[in-house]
């Protein structure tokens, strides 16, 4: 197996999905907990328009921070997110081909699709699918979206979320993500370790709880106000900000279990409102991408 | 299909086989031998000897009455002609049948059977569509629902394709092999050829074959590691349904991790990685694991190395939790339980712990275990604290166990740490209760609090709805009382527990009484007791469930004895007479009947009965006090002769009111004595017994 560093893995996936008709997007510039939350997934899966997109998404989960001490857990990791809408019949094969493109010889490894149904109470979204295990390591979350923002989805989109650090450690056969090569000369540790230390300290110890609660209320109000004006995309940004603020408060231990359910419901309300209005807005625009059936024309890998 | 969840596939296969066989029978196409195989990616159903064509059917079509069909001259009317014409036959083929309503025209028509292939083309997709899954999805334009997408369908009858479309898939004769080891397009001619072709393409279609292969592999690898397999039937079932080409890989982990408690190591391996554990001769864990993988071999050892790396990371996490959690004493976490919600209306786990602490002294007192109270309170102050440890956040299945392990590591005595460790025991009616007396009392208090609390706020189980698993908790309470032979007044325990909840609706205690009656009935029948004995015993009261169990065992033991059966059947008469006389037979109603006046007993038989009653009464009372219910019931059965003679010779409803009242008083006294054990009039006496 040819060993690849992290950015080579990203490049390989970019090339692979480019050939299969995906729009190659860039990471979204608001903090999110997962690639699913970026508008290119959460909003694009709504409604009848076909779409194929792929992008890297840095994903922040403040409670997973370990001050840079844990070899696998970090408060920010990178997902490679692919949305295929509608889900093609050979979607599992496409995914497996992408692993082969990364140099993983599936005849010599134990690859399995194990039941794992994804659900996000904050987004009012769920789907069914699998976690993909490679020699026991979860490398991908594979989901057929059934609902987003409380809206039933038709057609069904397939979402492939690669855990980039996981795949990279598998390929490089290293025990710690900090030992990964980011490029040939610069390691993951060089680039990210200090960030983990500082953000762990911020997330767990220094984040200003009172300010965060205030911000949450402000963001929430702003999202509602913007949604009411049909400024759907900005409204969604503020919904995402609420979600991240909630995650920070959670990491600070500032939210009791009782409050938790209520706050999640508030964010979900924003998300559902945005989803509903986004769909209406696309409809008013005449679902512009609807005619582009040429969009997803897979090409055989060369 | 794409991979169907391991927990669903076997049931789905059974459903498909059952529905298709039933539908075929309904269509006069009985099938012979059945073959049913399944893997995560396919359900294979073979039905042999299906007739090629439905049998023909004779159908009788009724026409108009004969008197309308023919006129006085015997000539056919328009009604007769119309009937023949409508059915496309000449009048000559129309006959006449006699019915209760008179004579009618009728026509017997042969309906030719349809070819089976054509019917199968309808029934197979219907049967596939009728499979129920706990969770389904849609993916195709026709919104067909299934657990995961269906990508190919092979349907053959007599070697020919049965053609239909389902979920955007056309049936064909082409199947697909193992994802990585098999060909993608394999033509199928017959069931036998399918089995062989799949095997050549690295798919063991028959789950029994996969199971045998896995079991052999596990035993072989465990022996190679120098130990024996820790059996795990549920995990075995899972891995059988998770792989098409299973084999077992033996991997190792570093010995330093053996410093972690065995329970944690086993859980990490089983829950997160689906690995089996290996034990040495003394039952200690060996530093290795067995992974069932979906390839027939691991030539380069890559798979083993991969699994070892993953487990190392998992165990490093667990070791980290084990170290960091213990930096804070378990009991010191108690204040933080205020932030952990037990139930919205029942408050936090801190509040729950307080209620349990309030209940414990009364329970200990009632159970005669006041000397346990200090240890029980120590345990109760920290028994929920593991909910906020990192270890339980990561391995929720280990709640209780982790708290117990931390308490042990902190040096608490076994009476304390084991009570914490086993607080969730019994997990079902089939699994063990807490092993220690202290553990039993704590588990009892915890469950009483949950059950009474749920009833107090209206979270009452109904039908299939039981969100807080209150029924299971109720079963747990009773099972603990039985297993530890604890005699306790449920009524008072409920009262104390409700008191700890503060204000509750007035009828809560009564509702709980009915609930526990239902649980007892369920448990007793699950234990294999006959339903009539259960009825009889419960009718005599169940405030002390253990006592009810003892009475039930005694009743079951002597119910087949001739004297007892005869007495039981006579006792129905006693109950009827008393009911007619307006005398309640409810033991709880107490001694409402008037006293028996010996001087008014005139007939020999009634005097004999009374003497017999007086004769056994002191012994019955003594036996009952000893809870020796077999003896009690035998003593009662010894009255059989006197009761028989009484009913033969004596007219209870005598004309003289004083005599009548006295006889009823006698029966009533006897009935009350008996009813303290069981209402034996409810025993079903089979004819000829």
Query: What is the value of ipTM here, to two decimals?
Result: 0.92
Omega of the bond leading into B426 within 30 degrees of 0 (cis): yes
For residue A76, give the nearest of A182, A197, A167 by alpha carbon: A197
- Buried/exposed code over B136-155 (b: 16+ C-beta within 10 A; e: otherwise): ebbbbeeebebbbbbbbbbb
Of B137, B143, B181, the CB nearest to A144: B137
Enumerate the residues of chain B whose CB falls inside 8 A of the CB of residue A108: 295, 298-300, 302-303
For residue A143, give the nearest of A120, A117, A163, A113 by alpha carbon: A117
pLDDT of residue B688: 46
How far apart, in Å, are the Cα atoms of B463 and each of B386, B454, B467, B471? 33, 16, 11, 11
Average pLDDT over residues B196-225: 96
Q: How confident is the model at residue A175 (pLDDT cuts 50, 70, 90)?
A: confident
Chain-centroid distance, C-alpha A201:
24
- Residue B543 is assigned to a structural domain of this protein: no
Full DSSP string of A158-191: EEEEEEHHHHHHHHHT-S-GGGSBSSSSSBHHHH
The verdict on a CB contact (< 8 Å) between B320 and A114 is no
CA distance B666 to B581: 13
Average pLDDT over residues B576-603: 67
The verdict on a CB contact (< 8 Å) between A135 and B312 is no
How far apart, in Å, are the Cα atoms of B591 and each of B401, B587, B610, B669? 51, 8, 17, 8
Higher pLDDT residue, A296 or A166? A166
pLDDT of residue B62: 87
Q: What percent of chain A has pLDDT over 90?
A: 85
- Residue B338 is assigned to a structural domain of this protein: no
The verdict on a CB contact (< 8 Å) between A72 and B137 is no
Q: Are B662 and B600 in contact (CB under 8 A)?
A: yes
Distance from CA of A63 to the nearest CA of B (A): 12
Mean pLDDT of chain A, nearest integer: 93
Average pLDDT over residues A257-275: 88
Q: Is A207 helix (H, G, I), strand (E, B) or coil?
A: coil
Chain-centroid distance, C-alpha A30:
12
CA distance B268 to B262: 10
pLDDT of residue B567: 83
Of B137, B294, B338, the CB nearest to A112: B294
Q: How confident is the model at residue A258 (pLDDT cuts 50, 70, 90)?
A: low
Lowest mean pLDDT among A229-243, B419-433, B654-668: B654-668
Average pLDDT over residues A180-204: 96
Q: Is B303 on the interface with A (CB under 8 A)?
A: yes
How far apart, in Å, are the Cα atoms of B86 and each of A241, B91, B106? 75, 11, 13
pLDDT > 50? residue A302: no
Q: How confident is the model at residue B689 (pLDDT cuts 50, 70, 90)?
A: very low
For residue B496, give the nearest of B480, B477, B509, B479 by alpha carbon: B509
Residue range A56-76, pLDDT digits in tens:
999 999 999 989 988 888 999
CA distance B339 to A258: 8
**Residue of B180, B270, B312 to mutate, interface with A, max A Cβ within 10 Å:** B180
Strand order in the sheet with B247-252: B228-229, B275-279, B285-293, B247-252
The CATH number corresponding to A208-284 among 3.40.50.80, 3.40.50.300, 3.20.20.70, 1.20.58.180 equals 1.20.58.180
For residue B293, give the nearest of B245, B231, B223, B221 by alpha carbon: B245
The reply to whether B441 and B483 lie within a common domain is yes
The reply to whether B627 and B502 lie within a common domain is no
- Residue B334 is assigned to a structural domain of this protein: no
The reply to whether B284 and B139 lie within a common domain is no
Question: Which residues 190-219 in chain A show a CB within 8 A of chain B?
Answer: none
CA distance B413 to B146: 53
Q: Domain boundary at B498, B528, B558, which?
A: B528
Question: Which residues 462-501 in chain B show a CB within 8 A of chain A?
Answer: none
Which residue segment(s) compose the domain that B598 sits in?
Answer: 550-682
How far apart, in Å, are the Cα atoms of A155 and each of A12, A232, A272, B3? 28, 22, 18, 21
pLDDT > 90? residue A135: yes
The verdict on a CB contact (< 8 Å) between B344 and A258 is yes
Average pLDDT over residues B262-279: 94
CA distance B139 to B146: 9
pLDDT of residue B588: 38
For residue A249, give the nearest of A286, A216, A218, A276 by alpha carbon: A216
Q: What number of other Cβ atoms are within 10 A of residue B66's Cβ?
A: 17
Number of helices (H) and strands (E) in chain B: give both, helices first. 26, 19
pLDDT of residue A3: 67
- Buried/exposed code over B452-465 (b: 16+ C-beta within 10 A; e: otherwise): bbbbbbebbbeeee
The verdict on a CB contact (< 8 Å) between B309 and A256 is no
The reply to whether B188 and B263 lie within a common domain is no
CA distance B292 to B311: 14
Enumerate the residues of chain A whose CB falls inside 8 A of the CB of residue B341: 256-258
Give domain A6-203's CATH architecture.
2-Layer Sandwich (3.30)
| Triad B265, A109, B39: Cα angle to 5° | 85
Q: How confident is the model at residue A126 (pLDDT cuts 50, 70, 90)?
A: very high
| Triad A156, A161, A167: Cα angle to 5° | 150
pLDDT of residue B601: 86
The reply to whether B175 and B221 lie within a common domain is no
- Residue B241 is assigned to a structural domain of this protein: yes
CA distance A38 to A271: 12
Mean pLDDT of chain B, nearest integer: 91
For residue B455, give the nearest of B444, B440, B442, B466 by alpha carbon: B466
The reply to whether B174 and B267 lie within a common domain is no
CA distance B558 to B536: 14
Q: Is A100 on the interface with B (CB under 8 A)?
A: no
Distance from CA of B394 to the nearest CA of A (A): 12
Q: Are B370 and B323 in contact (CB under 8 A)?
A: no
CA distance B155 to B162: 5
Enumerate the residues of chain A whose CB falls inside 8 A of the CB of residue B6: 114-115
Full DSSP string of B408-439: HHTT--HHHHHHHHTTT--SSTTSPPPSSHHH
Query: CB-based contacts of B329: which residues, under 8 Å, 6+ apart?
Result: B410
Q: Is B631 on the interface with A (CB under 8 A)?
A: no
Q: Is A115 on the interface with B (CB under 8 A)?
A: yes
How far apart, in Å, are the Cα atoms of B446 and each of B366, B419, B423? 16, 11, 8
| Triad B601, B607, B608: Cα angle to 5° | 170
Q: What percent of chain A has pLDDT over 70?
A: 95
The reply to whether B508 and B635 lie within a common domain is no
pLDDT > 50? residue B36: yes
Query: CB-based contacts of B462: which residues, under 8 Å, 6+ apart?
Result: none
- Residue B336 is assigned to a structural domain of this protein: no
For residue A162, give the nearest of A62, A51, A82, A61 by alpha carbon: A82
CA distance A39 to A233: 8
pLDDT of residue A141: 97
Q: Is A137 on the interface with B (CB under 8 A)?
A: yes
pLDDT > 50? residue B591: no
The reply to whether B175 and B245 lie within a common domain is no
Enumerate the residues of chain B whose CB falls inside 8 A of the CB of residue A132: none
Question: Which residues 238-297 in chain B show a CB within 8 A of chain A?
Answer: 242-243, 249, 273, 291, 293-295
pLDDT > 80? residue A89: yes
CATH 3.30.930.10 residue ranges for chain A: 6-203
pLDDT of residue A147: 95
- Closest chain B residue by Cα to residue A69: B320
Average pLDDT over residues B547-564: 90
The reply to whether B561 and B517 lie within a common domain is no
Residue range B467-516, pLDDT digits in tens:
778 999 999 999 999 999 999 999 999 999 999 998 889 899 999 999 99
CATH 1.20.58.180 residue ranges for chain A: 208-284
- DSSP state, B686? -
3-class DSSP string for A32-45: CCCHHHCHHHHCCC
pLDDT > 50? residue B589: no
Q: Domain boundary at B145, B179, B200, which?
A: B200
Q: Is B605 helix (H, G, I), strand (E, B) or coil?
A: helix
Of A110, A154, A253, the CB nearest to B295: A110
Q: How confident is the model at residue A104 (pLDDT cuts 50, 70, 90)?
A: very high
Q: Is B250 helix (H, G, I), strand (E, B) or coil?
A: strand
CA distance B37 to B10: 9
Query: CB-based contacts of A184: which residues, under 8 Å, 6+ apart?
Result: A5
The number of distinct structural domains making up chain B is 5
pLDDT > 70? residue A294: no
**In terms of C-beta distances under 8 Å and separation of at least 24 residues, what long-range contacts does A285-292 make, across chains too?**
A287/A47, A287/A48, A287/A49, A288/A49, A289/A49, A289/A50, A289/A51, A290/A48, A290/A49, A290/A50, A292/A50
Q: Are strands A137-148 and A23-24 parallel, antiparallel or unpaired?
A: unpaired
| Triad A243, A248, A249: Cα angle to 5° | 95
Enumerate the residues of chain B whose CB falls inside 8 A of the CB of residue A137: 306, 309-310
pLDDT of residue B561: 85
Lowest mean pLDDT among A189-193, A261-265, B485-489: A261-265
Full DSSP string of B191-245: HHHHHHHHHHTT----HHHHHHHHHHHHHHHHHHTTSEE---HHHHHHHHTT-SS
pLDDT > 90? residue B583: no
For residue B363, give the nearest of B242, B488, B477 by alpha carbon: B488
C-alpha torsion B382→B385→B391→B395, nearest 10 = 100
Average pLDDT over residues B675-681: 86
The reply to whether B486 and B375 lie within a common domain is yes
- Residue B384 is assigned to a structural domain of this protein: yes
Q: Are B504 and B498 in contact (CB under 8 A)?
A: yes
Q: Is B65 helix (H, G, I), strand (E, B) or coil?
A: strand
The reply to whether B256 and B306 lie within a common domain is yes
The verdict on a CB contact (< 8 Å) between A73 and B138 is no
CA distance B546 to B482: 6
Phi/psi for B379 (5° steps) reads -65, -45
Average pLDDT over residues B566-590: 69
Omega of the bond leading into A155 within 30 degrees of 0 (cis): yes
Percent of chain B that is helix, strand, coil (3-state, to 5): 55, 15, 35
Strand partners, B290: B250, B276
pLDDT of residue A295: 54
Taking the CA of residue B369 as centre, how many other CA atoms within 13 Å lie in the half-sphere pointing to its CB? Answer: 21
- Interchain CB contacts (distance < 8 Å): A and B: 109
DSSP H/E element including A141 = strand A137-148
CA distance B354 to B357: 5
The verdict on a CB contact (< 8 Å) between B40 and A113 is yes
Question: Which residues 129-168 in chain B show a CB within 8 A of chain A?
Answer: 135-139, 141, 143, 147-149, 151, 168
pLDDT > 60? residue A298: no
Q: How confident is the model at residue B587 (pLDDT cuts 50, 70, 90)?
A: very low
Of A111, A135, A175, the CB nearest to B307: A135
Question: Which residues 525-554 in chain B show a CB within 8 A of chain A?
Answer: none
Q: Is A63 on the interface with B (CB under 8 A)?
A: no
pLDDT of residue A300: 46
Q: What number of other Cβ atoms are within 10 A of residue B297's Cβ?
A: 12
């Amino acid at each position: 197996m040819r060993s690849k560093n992290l950015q080579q893995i990203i490049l390989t996936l970019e090339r692979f999905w480019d050939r299969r008709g995906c729009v190659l997007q860039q990471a979204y510039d608001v903090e999110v907990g997962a690639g699913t939350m970026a508008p290119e997934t959460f909003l694009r899966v709504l409604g009848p328009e076909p779409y194929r997109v792929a992008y890297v998404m840095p994903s922040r989960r403040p409670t997973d921070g370990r001050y840079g001490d844990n070899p696998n857990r970090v408060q920010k990791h990178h997902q490679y997110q692919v949305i295929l809408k509608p889900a093609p019949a050979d979607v599992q094969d496409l995914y497996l081909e992408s692993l082969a493109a990364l140099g993983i010889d599936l005849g010599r490894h134990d690859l399995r699709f194990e039941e794992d149904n994804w659900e996000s109470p904050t987004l009012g979204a769920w789907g069914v699918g699998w976690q993909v295990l490679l020699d026991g390591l979860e490398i991908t979350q594979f989901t057929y979206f059934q609902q987003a923002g409380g809206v039933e989805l038709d057609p069904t989109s397939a979402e492939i979320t690669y855990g980039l650090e996981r795949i990279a450690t598998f390929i490089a056969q290293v025990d710690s993500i900090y030992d990964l090569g980011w490029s040939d000369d610069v390691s993951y540790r060089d680039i990210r370790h200090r960030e983990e230390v500082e953000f762990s300290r911020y997330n767990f110890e220094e984040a200003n709880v009172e300010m965060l609660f205030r911000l949450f209320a402000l963001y929430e109000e702003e999202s509602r106000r913007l949604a009411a004006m049909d400024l759907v995309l900005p409204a969604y940004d503020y919904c995402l900000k609420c979600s991240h603020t909630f995650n920070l408060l959670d990491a600070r231990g500032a939210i009791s279990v009782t409050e938790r359910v209520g706050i999640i419901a508030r964010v979900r309300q924003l998300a559902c409102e945005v989803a509903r209005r986004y769909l209406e807005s696309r409809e008013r625009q005449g679902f512009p991408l609807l005619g582009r059936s040429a969009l997803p024309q897979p090409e055989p890998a060369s | 299909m794409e991979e169907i969840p391991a927990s669903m596939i076997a049931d789905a296969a059974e459903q498909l086989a059952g529905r298709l066989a039933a539908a075929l029978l309904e269509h006069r196409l009985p099938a012979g031998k059945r073959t049913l195989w399944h893997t995560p990616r396919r359900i294979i159903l073979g039905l042999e000897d299906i007739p090629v064509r439905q049998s023909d059917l004779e159908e009788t079509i009724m026409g108009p009455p004969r008197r309308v069909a023919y006129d006085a001259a015997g000539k056919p009317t328009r009604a007769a002609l119309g009937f023949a014409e409508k059915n496309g036959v000449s009048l000559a083929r129309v006959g006449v049948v006699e019915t209760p309503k008179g004579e009618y025209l009728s026509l017997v028509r042969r309906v030719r059977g349809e070819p089976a292939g054509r019917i199968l083309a309808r029934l197979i997709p219907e049967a596939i569509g009728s499979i129920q899954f706990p969770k389904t999805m849609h993916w195709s334009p026709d919104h067909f629902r299934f657990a995961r997408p269906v990508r190919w369908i092979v349907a053959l009858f007599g070697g020919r394709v049965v053609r239909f479309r389902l979920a955007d898939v056309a049936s064909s004769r082409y199947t697909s092999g193992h994802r990585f080891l098999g060909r993608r397009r394999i033509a199928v001619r017959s069931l036998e050829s399918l089995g062989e072709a799949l095997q050549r393409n690295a798919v063991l279609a028959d789950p029994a074959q996969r199971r045998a292969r896995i079991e052999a592999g596990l035993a072989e690898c465990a022996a190679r590691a120098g130990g024996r397999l820790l059996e795990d039937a549920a995990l075995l079932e899972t891995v059988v349904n998770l792989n098409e080409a299973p084999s077992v890989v033996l991997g190792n982990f570093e010995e330093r991790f053996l410093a972690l408690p065995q329970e944690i190591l086993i859980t990490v391996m089983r829950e997160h990685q689906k690995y089996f554990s290996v034990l040495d001769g003394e039952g200690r864990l060996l530093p290795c694991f067995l992974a069932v993988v979906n390839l027939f071999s691991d030539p380069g050892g890559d798979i083993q190395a991969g699994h070892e790396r993953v487990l190392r990371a998992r165990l490093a996490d667990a070791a980290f939790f084990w170290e960091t959690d213990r930096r804070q004493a378990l009991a010191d976490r108690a204040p933080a339980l205020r932030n952990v919600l037990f139930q919205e209306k029942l408050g936090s786990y801190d509040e729950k712990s307080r209620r349990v602490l309030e209940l414990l002294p009364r329970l200990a007192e009632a159970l005669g275990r006041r000397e346990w109270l200090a240890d029980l309170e120590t345990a109760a102050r920290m028994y929920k604290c593991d909910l906020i440890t990192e270890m339980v956040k990561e391995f929720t299945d280990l709640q209780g166990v982790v708290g117990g392990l931390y308490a042990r590591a902190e040096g608490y005595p076994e009476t304390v740490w084991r009570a914490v460790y086993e607080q969730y025991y019994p997990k079902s009616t089939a699994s063990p209760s807490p092993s220690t007396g202290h553990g039993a009392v704590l588990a009892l208090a915890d469950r009483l609090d949950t059950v009474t609390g749920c009833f107090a706020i209206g979270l009452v189980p109904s039908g299939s709805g039981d969100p807080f698993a209150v029924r299971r908790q109720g079963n747990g309470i009773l099972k603990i009382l039985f297993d530890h032979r604890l005699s306790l007044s449920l009524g008072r325990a409920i009262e104390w527990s409700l008191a700890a909840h503060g204000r509750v609706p007035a009828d809560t205690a009564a509702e709980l009484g009915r609930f526990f009656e239902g649980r007892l009935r369920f448990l007793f029948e699950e234990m294999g007791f006959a339903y009539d004995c259960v009825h009889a015993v419960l009718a005599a009261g169940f405030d002390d469930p253990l006592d009810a169990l003892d009475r039930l065992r005694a009743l079951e033991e002597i119910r087949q004895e001739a004297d007892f059966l005869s007495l039981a059947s006579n006792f129905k008469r006693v109950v009827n007479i008393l009911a007619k006389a307006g005398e309640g037979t409810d033991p709880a109603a107490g001694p409402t009947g008037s006293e028996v006046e010996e001087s008014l007993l005139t007939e020999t038989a009634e005097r004999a009965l009374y003497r017999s009653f007086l004769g056994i009464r002191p012994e019955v009372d003594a036996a009952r006090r000893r809870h020796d219910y077999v003896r009690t019931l035998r003593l009662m059965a010894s009255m059989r002769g006197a009761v028989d003679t009484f009913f033969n010779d004596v007219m209870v409803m005598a004309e003289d009111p004083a005599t009548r009242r006295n006889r009823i008083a006698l029966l009533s006294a006897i009935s009350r004595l008996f009813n303290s054990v069981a209402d034996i009039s409810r025993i079903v006496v089979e004819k000829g017994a």
